[in-house]
Amino acid sequence: MEQASKVQQVIDRFERAGRDSLIPILQAVQHEQGYLSEDAVASISRHLAIPASKVYGVATFYNQFRFQPKGKYHILICRGTACHVKGSAKVLDAIRKHLKVEPGRTTRDKLFSLETVACMGACALSPVLCINDEFHAKVSPAKAIKLIEACRELEAARPAATA
């Protein structure tokens, strides 16, 4: 499969790698395919000669790694203290209800995925929301929904992708 060979290429970049390269490899693979598939975990385990269970153990320990593909629009909500004090819980709630999706998951139409992050380090702009690496500052629940709907409209306006 194309996907699998791409992952293999990424892994092969780490020649003669030791255990300390595990996290960088996981990061590189996730960067390539957007998440860590079962096959990818198995390939990494073969490459480093570490049991797949250990690889999986490390991957699940860290918040960065996901095991489900990202949606086309990846929404990150900051849950840092500054954002919390300024009402990010309400923003998260509004999005959860609006998209009917829990943090860490992707909507059925694969359009949106939702993730919370401990702190984005943009506390002066709190509450912060990030859609596909684009920051949105001082977001209210209403503004968040507007942003999501804008993404939807963008999709609807686009000519239907080749199915």
We find the least distance from the C-beta atom of residue 146 to another protein, in angstroms, to be 12
Binding residue (CB under 8 A) for another protein from 52, 119, 145, 147? 119
| Tokens describing residue 155 | 């999709």
Binding residue (CB under 8 A) for another protein from 123, 145, 147, 151? 123
Is 147 a binding residue for another protein by CB under 8 A? The answer is no
Pattern 57-96, another protein, x by CB under 8 A: xx--xxxxx-------------xxxxxxxxx-xx------
Q: Which residue has the tokens 């996981």?
A: 26
We find the least distance from the C-beta atom of residue 15 to another protein, in angstroms, to be 16
Identity of the residue, 7 or 26, whose beta carbon is nearer to another protein in the bound complex:
26
Which parts of this chain interact with another protein (CB under 8 A)?
A: 18-24, 26-27, 57-58, 61-65, 79-87, 89-90, 117-126, 128, 135-138, 140, 142
